[in-house]
Structure 1
Amino acid sequence: MWHSGHSTEDDPGVDALFPGSGSVGWPALAAEHGGRDGGEGRPATSDVGRVLGPNAEAWWSFDTRHISVSDVQILGDSQGGRSDAGVYWMFTAGGIETSDEPSGTVLPVGQSGEWDAHFIAGPQVVAAGPNDLRMYYYSWDEGLGRFVIGLARSEDGFRWKKTGPIFQGGEGHDAAGATAHCVVQDLDSRAFFMFYEAVAADNTRSIGLAVSPDGLGDWQRTPDPILRSGRRGRLGRGVRENWALLIAGSNGWGNYRHQADVAHAYQVLLRGGIKEDRIIVMMFDDVARHPMNPHPNKLFNAPGGPDVYQGLRVDYSGTAVNALNFLAVLAGNRSGIEISSIANGRVLESGPQDHVFVYYSDHGAPGIVGMPSGPFLFADQWLSVIKSRSGVGYEHMVIYLEACESGSMFEGLLPEDISVFATTAANARESSWGTYCPGQSPSPPPELLTCLGDLYSVAWLEDADEANLSVETLKEQFQAVRLRTSQNFTYQQGSHAQRFGQLSMGTQSVAEYLGDAEQGPAAWGHAGAGAWVGAQVADAGAESSRRRRLGPQGAVPQRDADLAPLYAAVWREGPANSAKRAEAERALAAALGARAALDARVARAVGAVADGRRSAARRGAAGRKGAPSAGLGAAPAFYAPDLLYAGELPGREGRPVVDDWDCLRTIVMSNDKMHPLQDMVGAWEGVCGALDQYGMRHSRAFANLCNAGVRPAELGTAAALACTDADVA
């Protein structure tokens, strides 16, 4: 066994070593060859030591810095196989320290512009027959942007002629090409088999296979790798760590489902074997102890389901759940967090070899997701941290995002060249959906007058409860989630789940991020006796879960799900003439009225801005010399108020929701502090008050104004009139 080593004196070289009797095959081979054992006749079980090192002679320029062994052949006089009279040939790869002219090589790198001009590596020599030596090697082809395997041929082993590249991989597991390889010839068919290290677009490595009838060309690869990397938690534990960040971005009884989603995700990760100290949870944590909760200190994410709150460790609660802390945790920036009784200061301490899973359940709107405290989280802020941590704070990151218009957080923003795989509950223009709501099927027990979950979230969570995550891939789970979230592609009470980022990561197993310990319904044993609620206990097994997953499922638009407790209270309070029923109806009417009034104010303000722009354009046209009189009474072109208020400006498909984020968002950050801006959201809130989880839907109108070139001050002036007009409602 020949291997490359590096001494403590920084003097690398090639060693020769025959292992001891515990290894298979080598001692017998060494004893058979006696003195011709490749190591100066040493005993087969001893470490021979260095047999070849870098060349220090001044005239030499090939391997003056380091040398590594790539292939050793025993070639006889026939040069066609092994014999007792053969000679050991060692083919090495070396590093150049200084060079005026190439010297000492049998195969130099290519000239500038050639496919192998950057380097050549991994030489393997195959004796295909008399006077037919073939050297397979690989390089990086800059023109193709991938690793490529090439071939050189020789009759005597000294003089080699390159024939060019012969194999470059395909798509999927070898989309970035092929590197280390081993070529063997089948003695019966005479075909050549190439086992190679396949490199995917996200740098994932696996073993691929290609077959050629003559070893020279027409290499046919298998569509899938023949050997994938081992599952996490088996080999390599301690080298790569799993980290997770879970956040519920809302509070209040009407948002029960978001905190139940996150608590369920926590249980999935623990059950998968993710270490507790590698999971960070951010949620207001008011629902489990809410006065309206009939089961104190318990949360349920499905009818007849287990308590998912049991054992949950919350790291950030109350007002500590805000955009600034979320970004600091994601960035691993402990100094950006003020530690308190509601914020323990834990951050993602992941490194460049680690996997990170981020799950966010909340309200959303175009370009933003909500927070229970402080300003919204804007898409460009989140993406800025994700990009800055690429290759530093994670090797691969997976993001699951539950929110209305959640696709707008990544559309046109998340690049494909960083190792992030993101899925969202909805596209950039539609609501996501709450589920397990009162009056629906399946329905929560009568005492829980609120929605227990969100359709996209329970789709992936219940899939994780039952699937073999070591086998299921990210793509397969997404397909299952998309089917359920779309209500079997009918989109009746459903949404269009989306994927973004480096989609080739979809071939990785879900277990790479959620853990590979025991999965399935039986693993819920830790929930304890008495954790099941409602009248469906007898129907809470795997078959009922399967029906929930595949059959039609009641759902409510995310923003309307907040009103579910109010609607349920009206239904529950008996006859229409009862005092309690009347009180419940007044509360519901007040909530609906407040929403209608806000919508009317925003529509009036946007309309006033549009009218002002049209009037200014007419005045400008009238003042220009030679303006045709016939055109003075016609309104010049400007976007219609209805389009600005509720539509999407032309040409925005596939682009971020806004071009100038500073025009839209309420804050910028520098030196870990928030600084107010004169922006659209700030201009509105400065006059009309903070936008709530319903009002944030109007970020599309504010983004449209920015994209139309409107200044925030114009909206501020219009908002002052709209929000003080008593007749607006």
Structure 2
Amino acid sequence: MICSGHGAFIVLLALSCLIVPITYASKLPSQVLDFIHGGTIKNAGCNTNLSGKRWAVLVAGSKGYDNYRHQADVCHAYQILKKGGLKDENIIVFMYDDIAFNDNNPRPGVIINEPNGADVYQGVPKDYTEDHVNVKNFYAVILGNKSALTGGSGKVVNSGPNDHIFIYYTDHGGPGVLAMPNGEYIYAKDLNNVLNKKHAAKSYKSMVFYLEACESGSIFEGLLPNNLNIYATTASNASENSYAAYCPEDSKAVEEYDTCLGDLYSISWLEDSDKHDLRQENLQKQYEVVQRRTVAGVSDRSSHVMQYGNIEQSNECLYYYMGTNTANDNYTFVENPSSPSTLRVVNQRDANLLHFWHKYHKAPAGSHEKLKAQKELNDEISLRKHVDYSINHIGELLFGNGNSSKVLETVRPSGQPIVDDWNCFKMLVSTYEKYCGSLSKYGTQHMRAIANMCNAGVTMKQMVAASTQTCFKIPPTY
């Protein structure tokens, strides 16, 4: 068994490598802290006589207690917008809603986004929950198309030409895709087509899109033009992971929580928005604050926050999209000597392993809970081995042992989307999952390999043959 005897030690040793500290200066001179945190540097301020309405779409694309952080991020975002003056009728929330009252939650009915933080769940609209958190509804909401909805509150972005739209998505992703709870994918090309369609309808003045996911830059790289009045930032570039934060074993962790409470990119912009007068801070300033915090780690465990679309739009005030909390009027940063000196982060795709390990470690010996946690951990490790093996073996069948790695691991130059033929990409992903089972949130990292198969001219017939030969018997877990 992986979690008994020497096996448990090996897993613990491996998991210890998942937790990496991001170090911050503590007790530095206030002018240095001002530079790091962006507290006292003020913009000229913005015109508060805003024409049009503010709209927001908040999406947590996951489910399960091991993904606690995504719904916590979204709930926190809602609280910021609500305090900023946005009305519930203009805030549309997608979240599976299986966290607050989950059996694993030590504080039933409460969700926090930082250790010892305030409850961010109270009052959050449950517009689209459970299976209504899906791609079709997400697109329909953006486009204001009520007739295309299935279930949910029926709220859509019914915006006009003078309105400002803020979209925030947080979950797992991979090259060219974002995940949804029901196992379907948001494909980058389709999402950008929706944004183009929204622009063509002349139904907004400007839009901001904040995106948290691994390889999130690939959603806009080479796809989002600069003439749609859309400004986007992503947690990572097109070929790197993003990171979970406030995880077990962090120096500030609350002992009863065995799951990560937030995501590094997300908590960076959320906590920055919490404390500032957003009439005095523009999008560019927040981008710089988030960028500095996100790349502050060691080189192999940090990500590069990116900007896409109309970069000139970054001069606009955050107020236009988020409003502002009047409690932050005329905010001036004050040095806080009790600020944490370290923040430990975990690869998004490994956060569930950490959760399962802590469940196993904390459960009483011989208990049902311990056996269940051990099975969850073993099943996840087995699934990962299956996905890694099957993708690599399919590549070897298609390209030969000598060429497979070179083809599958190719990263295209900056400015190019990951694939030329998106229909081919979707077809090969569907073919793989038909014969080999779900790629899973972990397996989305292999989307680049599948895209490269398309770029190399692989046909559906070839993919079917390679997949059936590789996955003639799919383990029932998958």
Q: Provide TM-score, normalisation by structure 1.
A: 0.56
* Structure with higher strand content: 1
C-alpha contact 1:442 1:554 (8 A) present in aligned 2: no
Q: Take 1:596 and 1:291, find their aligned partners in 2: how far apart are those partners?
A: 29
SS of structure 1 residue aligned to 2:343: coil
Distance 1:605 1:255, change over 3 A: same
Offset at 1:574?
A: 6.3
Per the alignment, residue 404 of structure 1 pairs with 214
1:648 aligns with one of 375, 394, 410: 410
Q: Take 2:136 and 2:83, find their aligned partners in 1: how far apart are those partners?
A: 30
2:305 aligns with one of 497, 508, 511: 497
C-alpha contact 1:321 1:372 (8 A) present in aligned 2: yes
2:350 aligns with one of 529, 535, 560: 560
Per the alignment, residue 543 of structure 1 pairs with 336
C-alpha contact 2:69 2:262 (8 A) present in aligned 1: yes
Q: Take 1:520 and 1:664, find their aligned partners in 2: how far apart are those partners?
A: 47
Q: Take 1:411 and 1:282, find their aligned partners in 2: how far apart are those partners?
A: 25
Q: Take 2:384 and 2:61, find their aligned partners in 1: how far apart are those partners?
A: 20
Per the alignment, residue 15 of structure 2 pairs with none
Q: Take 1:454 and 1:521, find their aligned partners in 2: how far apart are those partners?
A: 27
Q: Take 2:269 and 2:141, find their aligned partners in 1: how far apart are those partners?
A: 24
Alignment deviations for residues 271-315 of structure 1 (CA, whole Å, 9 cap, x no partner): 111111100001111111111112111100000110000111110
1:697 aligns with one of 445, 465, 475: 445
C-alpha contact 1:487 1:553 (8 A) present in aligned 2: no
Alignment deviations for residues 218-276 of structure 1 (CA, whole Å, 9 cap, x no partner): xxxxxxxx987512xxx35xx41000000000000111000000000000000111111
1:347 aligns with one of 156, 180, 186: 156
AA at the equivalent of 1:414: L
C-alpha contact 2:396 2:404 (8 A) present in aligned 1: yes
Per the alignment, residue 155 of structure 1 pairs with none
Q: Percent identity?
A: 38
Alignment deviations for residues 329-371 of structure 1 (CA, whole Å, 9 cap, x no partner): 1111111112x3xx11111001111100000001000000000
Q: Take 1:384 and 1:508, find their aligned partners in 2: how far apart are those partners?
A: 25
Per the alignment, residue 470 of structure 1 pairs with 279
Per the alignment, residue 294 of structure 2 pairs with 485
Q: Take 1:278 and 1:244, find their aligned partners in 2: how far apart are those partners?
A: 6
Q: Take 1:722 and 1:246, find their aligned partners in 2: how far apart are those partners?
A: 39
Q: How many residues align?
A: 431
SS of structure 1 residue aligned to 2:336: helix
User: Which has the larger Rg?
Assistant: 1
Distance 1:320 1:566, change over 3 A: same
Per the alignment, residue 420 of structure 2 pairs with 659
Q: How does 1:433-452 map to 2 (within 5 A)?
A: 433-443=243-253, 445-452=254-261
* Structure with higher helix content: 2
Offset at 1:587?
A: 3.3
Per the alignment, residue 376 of structure 1 pairs with 185
Q: Take 1:460 and 1:280, find their aligned partners in 2: how far apart are those partners?
A: 19
Offset at 1:448?
A: 1.4
RMSD over aligned Cα atoms:
2.6
- In the alignment, structure 2 segments of 5+ residues that lack a partner are 1-42
C-alpha contact 1:474 1:506 (8 A) present in aligned 2: yes
Q: Take 1:461 and 1:266, find their aligned partners in 2: how far apart are those partners?
A: 10
Alignment deviations for residues 82-128 of structure 1 (CA, whole Å, 9 cap, x no partner): xxxxxxxxxxxxxxxxxxxxxxxxxxxxxxxxxxxxxxxxxxxxxxx
AA at the equivalent of 1:662: N
Offset at 1:519?
A: 4.7
Q: How does 1:326-365 map to 2 (within 5 A)?
A: 326-338=138-150, 340=151, 343-365=152-174
Per the alignment, residue 18 of structure 2 pairs with none
Q: How does 1:152-231 map to 2 (within 5 A)?
A: 230-231=47-48
1:389 aligns with one of 198, 215, 221: 198
SS of structure 2 residue aligned to 1:300: coil
SS of structure 1 residue aligned to 2:93: strand
AA at the equivalent of 1:654: G
SS of structure 2 residue aligned to 1:387: helix
Alignment deviations for residues 478-510 of structure 1 (CA, whole Å, 9 cap, x no partner): 00001111126x445321111111111111111
- In the alignment, structure 1 segments of 5+ residues that lack a partner are 1-225, 524-540, 615-638, 666-678
Q: Take 1:704 and 1:424, find their aligned partners in 2: how far apart are those partners?
A: 23
Offset at 1:553?
A: 1.1
Distance 1:516 1:683, change over 3 A: same
Distance 1:247 1:521, change over 3 A: farther
Q: Take 2:474 and 2:420, find their aligned partners in 1: how far apart are those partners?
A: 35
C-alpha contact 1:464 1:519 (8 A) present in aligned 2: no
Q: Take 1:707 and 1:565, find their aligned partners in 2: how far apart are those partners?
A: 37
1:594 and 2:404 are equivalent in the alignment? no
Q: Take 1:349 and 1:579, find their aligned partners in 2: how far apart are those partners?
A: 50
Distance 1:295 1:725, change over 3 A: same
Per the alignment, residue 320 of structure 2 pairs with 512
AA at the equivalent of 1:699: M
AA at the equivalent of 2:191: W
Q: Take 2:329 and 2:183, find their aligned partners in 1: how far apart are those partners?
A: 39
1:424 and 2:187 are equivalent in the alignment? no
Q: Take 1:228 and 1:569, find their aligned partners in 2: how far apart are those partners?
A: 48
C-alpha contact 2:246 2:345 (8 A) present in aligned 1: yes
Alignment deviations for residues 613-650 of structure 1 (CA, whole Å, 9 cap, x no partner): x9xxxxxxxxxxxxxxxxxxxxxxxx8211233x125x
1:722 aligns with one of 453, 460, 470: 470
Offset at 1:547?
A: 2.4
1:710 and 2:471 are equivalent in the alignment? no
SS of structure 2 residue aligned to 1:554: strand
